[in-house]
């Protein structure tokens, strides 16, 4: 089991620790609902240092990214971030990721913790152009400071004008007394905020500085439990649940990051799928009758015939109602369609909803 540079800090704070993607991670501190509310209404800090970071450098760095990813990275400029995915050769997804353009010949890819080795091997397989690849995951810490008060809470720590940063852009600068920190206006919560990348050796210093600066704003440490409820309220996909090696980006509603204006892995097959139409779609689920949709529960029609399965579900802390996501046959994918979730052999009424659930 790997630790992050802040594992001891989480244990001292009384976090409930769980194994996640090979790391010892905090799932909650005060409790999921309280932490969820802190991020929606004020500001919270997630240690997400388990995520993977690769640096790709050289004349052909962009060409390699274009080959392995579905979005068009040629649209990026220095300081811009892009959401994308790595299609496999069988119609599924190797991983979803963020692409950072540091300069014309240097990019950082941020990948899911559970897929670091898989993604590295996948990209390496296509690196026939001599691109210099560095896996900096084990020496890089990442904190996500999320919530409507994030910019105010952090501003005293940096000369970067945080409030003026556009969504999905980043800057490098001085932060909490440390040089060369990458501050990114990104996140997985829908609450606004920043993600901050730096070398492990500065983790405790930066963590302490953030909590000191954020104290007047009610800053709180947040675990992976609330990270999941926050992203689900926004309808953001979680790799391993809502997308995986068997789900196509088009089925998953990721057509907006699948650009057929360029060639990429398996693009012909995906383009054919787009033209023919997908047989199933990832949809939002809102319960009508009482019950919580859980991962792998069957979705059935009024007659009880199986039409899909739930990929994610929870009781939404912000909305105080059960929500979820799942794949259904395309005929049942229209917003408002009545569907049923099979919970302990009972058919529980629900309807198809369009994320985000939390507006």
Question: What token pair was written down for 23?
Answer: 């790391």
What is the C-alpha separation between 165 and 269, in angstroms, rounded? 38
Give burial (CB, 10 Å; 0-12/13-18/19+) of 268.
exposed
Handedness of CA 45, 50, 54, 55 (dihedral sign): positive
Give burial (CB, 10 Å; 0-12/13-18/19+) of 184.
buried
What is the C-alpha separation between 178 and 174, in angstroms, rounded? 6
* Residue of 233, 227, 190 whose CA lies nearest to 355: 233
Instruction: Spell out where 62-146 has E strands.
Output: 81-87, 93-103, 106-111, 132-135, 140-146
Residues sharing a CB contact under 8 Å with residue 161, sequence separation 6 or more, in sequence order:
none
User: Rg of the chain's alpha carbons, rounded to an integer?
Assistant: 21
233 labeled binding residue: no
Residues sharing a CB contact under 8 Å with residue 247, sequence separation 6 or more, in sequence order:
92, 93, 282, 327
What is the C-alpha separation between 211 and 175, in angstroms, rounded? 13
Give the DSSP letter string of 213-264.
HHGGGT-EEE-HHHHHHHHHHHT---BTTTB-TTS-TTTTT-GGG--TTS--
What is the C-alpha separation between 259 and 264, in angstroms, rounded? 9
Binding residues for substrate: 195
Binding residues: 195
């Amino acid at each position: 089991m790997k630790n992050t540079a802040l594992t001891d800090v989480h244990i001292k704070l009384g976090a409930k620790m769980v194994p996640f993607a090979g790391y010892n991670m905090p799932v909650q501190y005060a409790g999921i609902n309280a932490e969820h509310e802190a991020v929606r209404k004020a500001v919270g800090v997630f240690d997400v240092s388990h995520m993977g970071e690769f640096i790709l450098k050289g004349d052909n760095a962009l060409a390699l990214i274009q080959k392995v990813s579905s979005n068009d990275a040629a649209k990026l400029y220095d300081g811009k971030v892009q959401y994308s995915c790595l299609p496999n050769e069988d119609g599924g997804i190797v991983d979803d990721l963020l692409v950072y353009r540091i300069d014309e010949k240097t990019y950082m890819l941020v990948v899911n913790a559970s897929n670091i080795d898989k993604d590295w091997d996948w990209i390496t397989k296509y690196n026939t152009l001599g691109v210099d690849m560095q896996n900096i995951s084990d020496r890089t810490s990442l904190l996500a400071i999320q919530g409507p008060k994030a910019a105010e809470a952090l501003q005293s720590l940096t000369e970067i004008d945080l409030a003026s940063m556009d969504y999905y852009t980043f800057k490098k600068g001085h932060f909490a007394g440390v040089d060369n920190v990458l501050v990114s206006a990104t996140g997985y919560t829908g609450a606004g905020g920043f993600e901050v990348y730096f070398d492990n050796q500065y983790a405790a210093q930066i963590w302490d500085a953030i909590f000191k600066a954020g104290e007047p704003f009610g800053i709180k440490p947040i675990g992976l439990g609330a990270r999941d409820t926050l992203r689900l309220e926004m309808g953001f996909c979680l790799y391993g649940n809502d997308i995986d090696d068997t789900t196509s980006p088009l089925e998953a509603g990721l057509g907006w990051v699948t650009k057929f204006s360029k060639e990429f892995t398996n693009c012909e097959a995906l383009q054919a799928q787009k033209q023919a139409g997908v047989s199933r779609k990832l949809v939002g689920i809102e319960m009508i009758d009482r019950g919580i949709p859980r991962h792998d529960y069957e979705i059935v029609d009024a007659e009880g015939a199986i039409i899909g399965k739930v990929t994610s579900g929870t009781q939404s802390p912000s909305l105080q109602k059960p929500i979820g996501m799942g794949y259904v046959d395309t005929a049942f994918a229209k917003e408002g369609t009545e569907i049923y979730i099979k919970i302990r052999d009972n058919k529980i009424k629900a309807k198809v909803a369009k994320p985000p659930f939390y507006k």
